[in-house]
Amino acid sequence: MRTWKKAFIQLILLLFICGSVMAAPNENSEKKKDDKETTFHPHEKVLVTATLTRHMIKDCSSSVSVIDINDILALPGVSNALNLLNNQPGIFIRQTSAFGRADVDIRGIGQRGRRIAVLVDGRPEKMGLFGCTVTHAFPLDNVERIEIVRGPSSVLYGSEALGGVVNILTHMPKEKFETDFEATYGSFNTQQYNLKHGGNFNRLSYFLTVDRRSSNGHRENSEYQGNAVTGKIQYKWADDLRSSFQVKYFEGRKYEAGPLDHPLSDFWNDYKRGAADFSIRKGNPDNEIVFKLYTNFGHHIFSDGWHSRDYVNGGILHYTNKHITNNELTIGGDFRFLGGKSYNFPKGEWQKNEQAVFIHDQYVLWNKWILSTGFRLHRDSLYGLQVSPQWGV
């Protein structure tokens, strides 16, 4: 009898403990539900354009990150725009020095900048000879926001977007007049002088910057000097029609110190890079067409005898339709002419051209699943036709 009573009491205690354990998750889940309903989620409001069209981050099928102006201001001492990516997950920056080259690898893919598409307001930045990006030609003087897309985006941008996309968005003033001057001085005789000026007159807005940076470097033969100017003007013809024109020019010389056990002496690279683009945007976010013409050019002289000039001239046209609920269809095409000339070994001149058409469709199912598919038909004057398909859930 005593054994039966003991077993009965143990059963009651076991049921009580199980009930408490089961009740706790319910209470926690109710609390989490209430917290979820009252908590502000800023990422749901952020629009990104690195996917070619405007999306909220929560509706992007790719992994997307945004570095906004507050993040930029919180990282003093960063020498160029791409160095800001150092603290982003899945991204590795290969730097030669504090002011030197900064090649981006996303999830292990980069190939010294050849497999990551770097854009400035949607304008491709690419060297005509080697297909890479001269990353230290991107000062921070006019940067307002950087968007990163991890994973292949070749359907939209071609082979250089195999690893991902970095889109640098520049500032446009919101006040009638904006003027800012900044001068800094630091270790190793590091100096920076930056002047910004812009204006906004409802329909017309503009923004100009001048930047100068120099440093003796933390080691012998690691000096740097760079100057950059940028300009951007935008005109709003109507509520659904606007055009913009922007230019950039950079010149700089950086010295390479080499490894500690085999230091280099008087080894330097001299860069001159420029770019310009003109774009027209017509429509609204649900029915929009965008056309852009652009050019990149450069002149490089290195102490080892390398001397070259290069160019990339191209255009992009794409149309986006969102009239079907939860669906976005993008069709478009692009072309470019690439070329360059080497004045020393290997001496020669090279050029090629590329054309492509693409289509991409994305559907959000039950507000939980993002279904995407697309393909790109790409023609290269050297390598012929290539097809890049894509699908994902």
Given a contact cutoff of 8 angstroms between Cβ atoms, the answer to whether 196 and 258 are in contact is no
Strands 204-215, 190-201: pairing kind: antiparallel
104 vs 110: CA distance, rounded Å: 6
For residue 392, the surrounding DSSP H or E stretch is strand 384-392
Residue 68 lies in a domain: yes
Query: What proportions of the chain, in percent to the nearest 5, are helix, strand and coil?
Result: 15, 55, 30
Residue 32 lies in a domain: no
**Which tokens in the block code for residue 126?**
């690419």
How many independent structural domains does the chain possess?
1
Tell me what pLDDT residue 266 has: 87
Segment-wise mean pLDDT, segments of 10 residues, the chain, 393 residues: 48 42 45 49 62 77 84 75 79 69 77 82 88 77 88 87 89 91 91 94 95 90 92 95 96 88 89 96 90 96 94 96 90 96 91 96 89 93 92 87
Residue 39 lies in a domain: no
Residue 280 lies in a domain: yes
Tell me what pLDDT residue 178 has: 93
Chain center to CA of 356: 22
Residue 11 lies in a domain: no
Residue 63 lies in a domain: yes
State the residue range of the domain holding 64.
Answer: 45-392
Residue 387 lies in a domain: yes
Query: Which letter, b or e, does each residue of 293-322 get, where b requires 16 or more Cβ atoms within 10 Å of its Cβ?
Result: bbbbbbebbeeeeeebbbbbbbbbbbbbbb
Residue 37 lies in a domain: no
Please give the C-alpha separations between residue 162 and each of 159, 168, 186, 275, 340, in angstroms, as whole numbers.
6, 18, 39, 23, 24
Write the CATH number for 255: 2.40.170.20
Nearest residue to 95 via CA among 227, 256, 212: 256
The chain-wide mean pLDDT, for the chain, equals 84
70 vs 180: CA distance, rounded Å: 17
